[in-house]
């Protein structure tokens, strides 16, 4: 089985052991692609939904992956400790709003749905447990906004009830849905939206990156052995 590991930032990709020393085997539309293990490809596709969707489409159409695993750091709306691992159970897109024409908030009209479930989140948690890692599951909200404390964060929390907020996952989920490719997501808590120390947390997220780097490749290798 072929898996695509999709990160947003190079720092997230480089958290993989030895990844800094790898040379890309190909660059497509400005995105370098790497082979980090047999039939496990990786890229840092860029921040935000457009970059994420473009890289996911390359994984699906050019490289024919069977599953995309989106991994990265994310802001937390609850009180999970920094570095906690979260397997996304589903994604929503918090910055889609066509309620003016009668749609529910967050509806993505092209595919006519609000929520985008991931592949077997409970099974992913069990797989992580067999590898010695603890994780929880929860909803993740995606949007082109670096989430900070304020009215917008309160709106997202109260409207969508997510555990985490980030900028790429739901875009990848939509691409996978339309290409009939399985999608999973593993996030590491980097900062807390309602903390007075959020900025300091985000710019010092070494623990979140370290925890992510330890688990992503073993997790991908375990997924590779599964019957999807």
In this predicted structure, the answer to whether residue 228 has a pLDDT above a threshold of 80 is no
In this predicted structure, the answer to whether residue 197 has a pLDDT above a threshold of 80 is yes
Residue 124 near residue 86 (C-beta atoms within 8 A):
no
Residue 121 DSSP class: H
In this predicted structure, the answer to whether residue 31 has a pLDDT above a threshold of 80 is yes
- Residues 6 or more apart whose CB falls under 8 angstroms from that of 37 comprise 217, 220, 221
Q: What is the pLDDT of residue 121?
A: 98
Domain count, the chain: 1
Q: What is the pLDDT of residue 200?
A: 84
Residues of the domain holding 200: 3-224
Q: What is the pLDDT of residue 98?
A: 97
**DSSP per-residue string spanning 63-98:** S--SEEEEEEEEEESS-PPTT-EEEEEEEEETT---
Q: What is the pLDDT of residue 201?
A: 84
Tokens linked to 192: 């807390």
Note the pLDDT tens digit of each residue in 125-166.
999 999 999 999 999 999 999 999 999 999 999 999 999 999
In this predicted structure, the answer to whether residue 51 has a pLDDT above a threshold of 80 is yes
Phi-psi domain of 164 (left: phi exceeds 0; alpha: psi -120 through 50; beta: other):
beta
Closest Cα to residue 176, out of 75, 97, 91, 102? Answer: 91
Residue 155 near residue 193 (C-beta atoms within 8 A):
no
Residue whose token pair is 């691409």: 175
In this predicted structure, the answer to whether residue 227 has a pLDDT above a threshold of 80 is no
> For residue 226, what pLDDT band results from cuts at 50, 70 and 90?
confident
Q: What is the pLDDT of residue 144?
A: 97
User: What is the rounded distance in angstroms from the CA atom of residue 33 to the CA atom of residue 121?
Assistant: 26
194, 137, 10, 93: CA torsion to nearest 10: -70
In this predicted structure, the answer to whether residue 102 has a pLDDT above a threshold of 90 is yes
The predicted model scores a pTM of 0.96
What CATH code is carried by the domain that includes residue 94?
A: 3.40.50.1580
The pLDDT mean for the chain works out to 95
Average pLDDT over residues 207-221: 93
Q: What is the pLDDT of residue 24?
A: 97
């Amino acid at each position: 089985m072929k898996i695509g590991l999709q990160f947003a930032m190079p720092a997230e990709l480089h958290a993989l052991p030895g990844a800094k020393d790898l040379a890309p085997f190909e660059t497509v539309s400005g995105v370098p692609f790497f082979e980090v293990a047999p039939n496990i490809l990786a890229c840092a596709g860029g921040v935000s939904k457009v970059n994420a969707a473009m890289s996911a489409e390359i994984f699906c159409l050019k490289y024919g992956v069977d599953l995309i695993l989106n991994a990265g750091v994310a802001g937390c709306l609850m009180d999970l400790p920094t570095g906690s691992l979260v397997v996304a159970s589903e994604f929503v897109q918090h910055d889609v709003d066509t309620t003016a024409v009668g749609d529910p908030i967050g509806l993505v009209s092209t595919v006519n749905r609000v929520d985008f479930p991931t592949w077997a989140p409970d099974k992913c948690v069990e797989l992580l447990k067999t590898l010695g890692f603890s994780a929880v599951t929860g909803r993740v909200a995606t949007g082109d906004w670096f989430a900070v404390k304020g009215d917008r964060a309160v709106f997202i929390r109260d409207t969508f009830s997510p555990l985490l907020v980030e900028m790429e996952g739901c875009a990848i989920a939509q691409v996978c849905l339309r290409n009939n490719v399985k999608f999973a997501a593993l996030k590491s808590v980097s900062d807390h939206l309602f903390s007075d120390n959020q900025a300091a947390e985000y710019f010092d997220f070494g623990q979140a990156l370290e925890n992510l780097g330890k688990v992503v490749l073993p997790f991908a290798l375990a997924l590779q052995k599964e019957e999807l």
